[in-house]
C-alpha cells in the first residue's frame, strides 16, 4: 500500500540521527484513559477519524524479557502509548513464529514476531495473517552455532548430525530455506527439541551437534556463561549464506488494521519514540525493562540491546530508509525465495505482508547509536 506516511505521522519529541521463554503470566502494564483523540486519516480510510476512548491492545513478545524488548517498556513508562490513547497489555512469548499464530487465533491484536511466518501463513490463509507495520530486524538474526572444536566446518557437514531448537523456533522453521541454498540434504538432518533455556547448555554438553538460534539471544547467553562467542563458538549466520530475509518487527491483526487504523498509527508512533529513546539512552531502556523483571542481568541485557542494534537493526539499508520500513524489491525476493523453498501454494503480494502507511516521516526514524 502506498498512501503517504505523513498522513499518519504527528510531530513528536524523538531523537533522529543527527541530534543524538516459555510463556509467562500476563501482566497489566498500562491503563490509559483520557480525552478524545482526533486524527487526520487518509482518504481511503475516511470515516474512522472520530473522538474515542482508549483502545485496548494485547501485545505478545517473541520471547522472555530481554534487552531487545526494552524500547516497549521505555515507551510505556514515558507515556507514549497513553498519549496515543492505547491501553497496552504485553505478554512474554515462546517464539517469533508463534507470535503470528497467536494473533491469528485472536488471543492478541499485535505483537513482535517474524515476517517470514506471516508470509507462510498468508499463502494458505489469505486475509487472515497479521500484517507487519514496523520492521525492526532489518537483517535476519537466524544462525546455526556449533562448538569451535566441532567437525562441522561447512553447512554440508550438517548432514548426519543432530540439531537442536525449541519446537516453535523461527530459525529451525527457516532451516529448509538455508538447506536448499547450501545444497544440504535436509532429510539427513535430525532435530531435537528442547526448552529455550537449554539451547546453549545442550550444545556445550554435546547433546546436540549444533543449534538453530537467534544470534541476539544466544550470543549474550554464552557471554553470561563466561564463554567467548567469537572463540568458543563457530557461527553460520543465515544472512551470510544467501538468506537475505527480513525478520522481526511489529505486526497487527487484520481486524485491528481494518477497524482501528488510528490505533495502529498510534501504536507505531509510540514504538518508534520508544526505539528512538532506547537508542539515545540504552541505560534508561534497560532500567525500564528491569522494573518488570528485577532479576535480569542489567549488564548482559544492555550488551544484548547494543549487539542487536549494531548487527540486525541499524543496517545500511535502515540508515537510508529509516528503521520501520523495508525495501519492496527485497521483500518480493524474500517472498519468492520462501515460496520456492516451502513450495507454497500461493505467493502472497508484498502489500499483504507489509503496510507502511503508518510510519512516521523518515527523518524521525533514522537513528544512530552514539
Ranking 28-32, 156-160, 221-225 by mean pLDDT, the lowest is: 28-32
Q: Cα(first)–Cα(last) distance of the chain, in Å? A: 34
Which position has the higher pLDDT, 156 or 16? Answer: 156
pLDDT at 201: 95
Tell me which residue of 56, 55, 69, 54 sits closest to 24, measured CA to CA: 69
The reply to whether 228 and 253 lie within a common domain is no
The reply to whether 47 and 60 lie within a common domain is yes
- DSSP-based three-state secondary structure for 235: strand
The reply to whether 19 and 120 lie within a common domain is yes
The highest-confidence range among 28-32, 44-48, 186-190, 342-346, by mean pLDDT, is 186-190
Decide if pLDDT at 17 tops 80: no
Measured in degrees and rounded to the nearest 5, phi and psi for residue 69 equal -115, 0
pLDDT band for position 52 (cuts 50, 70, 90): low
* Residue 121 within any structural domain of the chain: yes
Ranking 33-42, 175-184, 230-239, 299-308 by mean pLDDT, the lowest is: 33-42
**Averaged pLDDT for residues 295-319:** 97
- Domain containing residue 203: CATH number: 3.40.190.10
Total structural domains within the chain: 2
Identify the residue whose cell numbers are 507502511.
356
Q: What average pLDDT is seen over the chain?
A: 88
CA gap 354, 135 in Å, rounded: 9
Decide if pLDDT at 197 tops 70: yes
Structural domain for 237, as ranges: 142-241
Decide if pLDDT at 33 tops 60: no
* Residue 64 within any structural domain of the chain: yes
Query: End of a domain among 241, 260, 275?
Result: 241
pLDDT at 238: 95
Decide if pLDDT at 24 tops 70: no
pLDDT at 340: 85
pLDDT band for position 169 (cuts 50, 70, 90): confident
The reply to whether 334 and 345 lie within a common domain is yes
The reply to whether 205 and 335 lie within a common domain is no
How many helices and strands, by DSSP H and E, does the chain display?
15, 11
CA gap 107, 122 in Å, rounded: 18
Decide if pLDDT at 153 tops 60: yes
Query: End of a domain among 241, 276, 300?
Result: 241
The reply to whether 268 and 317 lie within a common domain is yes
Query: End of a domain among 210, 241, 272?
Result: 241
Decide if pLDDT at 90 tops 90: yes
pLDDT band for position 95 (cuts 50, 70, 90): confident
Decide if pLDDT at 183 tops 90: yes
The reply to whether 131 and 156 lie within a common domain is no
**Averaged pLDDT for residues 74-93:** 98
The reply to whether 31 and 106 lie within a common domain is yes
* Residue 340 within any structural domain of the chain: yes
DSSP state of 63: S
For residues 304 and 123, is the Cβ–Cβ distance under 8 A?
A: no
Which position has the higher pLDDT, 26 or 187? Answer: 187
Residue range 322-336, pLDDT digits in tens: 999 999 999 999 999
pLDDT band for position 370 (cuts 50, 70, 90): confident
pLDDT at 168: 77
* Residue 370 within any structural domain of the chain: no
Decide if pLDDT at 44 tops 80: no
Three-state SS string across the chain, please? CCCCHHHHCCCCCCCCCCCCCCCCCCEECCCCCCCCCCCCCCHHHCCCCCCCCCEEEEEECCCCCCHHHHHHHHHHHCCHHHHCCEEEEEECCCCHHHHHHHHHCCCCCEEEEEHHHHHHHHHHCCCCCCEEEEECCCCCCEEEEEECCCCCCCHHHHCCCEEEECCCCHHHHCHHHHHHHHCCCHHHCEEEECCHHHHHHHHHCCCCCEEEEEHHHHHHHHHHCCCCCCCCEEEEEHHHHCCCCCCEEEEECHHHHHHCHHHHHHHHHHHHHHHHHHHHCHHHHHHHHHHHCCCCCHHHHHHHHHHHHHHHHCCHHHHHHCCECCCHHHHHHHHHHHHHHHCCCCCCCHHHHECCCCCCCHHHCCCCCC
**Averaged pLDDT for residues 198-202:** 95
Amino acid at each position: 500500500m502506498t498512501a503517504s506516511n505523513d498522513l499518519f505521522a504527528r510531530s513528536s519529541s524523538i531523537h533522529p540521527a543527527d541530534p543524538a521463554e516459555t510463556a509467562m503470566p500476563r501482566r497489566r502494564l498500562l491503563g490509559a484513559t483520557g480525552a478524545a483523540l482526533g486524527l487526520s486519516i487518509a482518504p481511503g480510510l475516511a470515516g474512522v477519524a472520530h473522538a474515542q476512548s482508549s483502545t485496548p491492545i494485547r501485545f505478545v513478545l517473541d520471547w522472555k524479557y530481554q534487552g531487545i524488548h526494552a524500547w516497549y517498556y521505555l515507551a510505556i513508562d514515558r507515556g507514549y502509548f497513553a498519549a496515543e490513547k492505547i491501553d497496552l497489555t504485553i505478554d512474554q512469548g515462546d517464539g517469533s513464529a508463534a507470535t503470528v499464530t497467536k494473533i491469528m487465533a485472536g488471543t492478541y491484536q499485535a505483537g513482535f514476531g517474524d515476517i517470514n511466518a506471516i508470509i507462510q501463513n498468508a499463502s494458505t490463509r489469505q486475509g487472515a495473517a497479521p500484517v507487519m507495520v514496523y520492521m525492526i530486524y532489518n537483517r535476519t538474526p537466524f544462525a546455526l552455532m556449533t562448538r569451535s572444536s566441532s567437525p562441522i566446518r561447512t553447512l554440508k557437514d550438517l548432514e548426519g548430525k543432530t540439531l537442536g531448537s525449541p519446537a516453535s523456533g523461527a530459525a529451525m522453521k527457516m532451516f529448509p530455506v538455508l538447506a536448499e541454498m547450501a545444497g544440504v540434504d535436509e532429510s539427513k538432518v535430525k532435530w531435537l527439541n528442547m526448552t529455550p533455556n537449554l539451547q546453549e547448555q545442550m550444545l556445550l554438553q554435546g547433546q546436540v551437534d549444533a543449534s538453530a538460534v537467534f544470534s541476539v539471544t544466544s550470543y549474550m547467553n554464552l557471554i553470561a556463561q563466561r564463554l567467548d562467542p567469537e572463540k568458543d563458538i563457530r557461527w553460520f549466520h543465515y544472512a551470510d549464506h544467501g538468506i537475505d530475509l527480513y525478520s522481526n518487527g511489529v505486526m497487527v491483526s487484520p481486524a485491528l488494521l481494518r477497524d482501528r487504523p488510528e490505533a495502529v498509527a498510534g501504536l507505531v508512533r509510540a514504538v518508534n519514540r520508544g526505539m528512538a529513546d532506547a537508542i539515545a539512552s540504552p541505560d534508561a531502556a534497560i532500567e525500564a525493562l528491569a522494573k518488570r523483571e528485577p532479576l535480569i542481568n542489567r549488564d548482559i541485557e544492555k550488551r544484548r540491546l547494543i549487539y542487536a542494534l549494531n548487527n540486525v537493526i541499524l543496517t545500511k539499508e535502515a540508515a537510508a530508509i529509516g528503521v520501520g520500513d523495508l525495501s519492496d524489491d527485497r521483500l518480493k525476493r524474500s517472498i519468492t525465495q520462501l515460496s520456492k523453498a516451502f513450495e507454497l501454494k500461493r505467493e502472497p503480494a508484498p502489500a499483504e505482508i507489509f503496510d507502511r502507511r503508518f510510519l512516521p516521516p523518515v527523518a524521525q526514524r533514522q537513528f544512530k547509536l552514539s
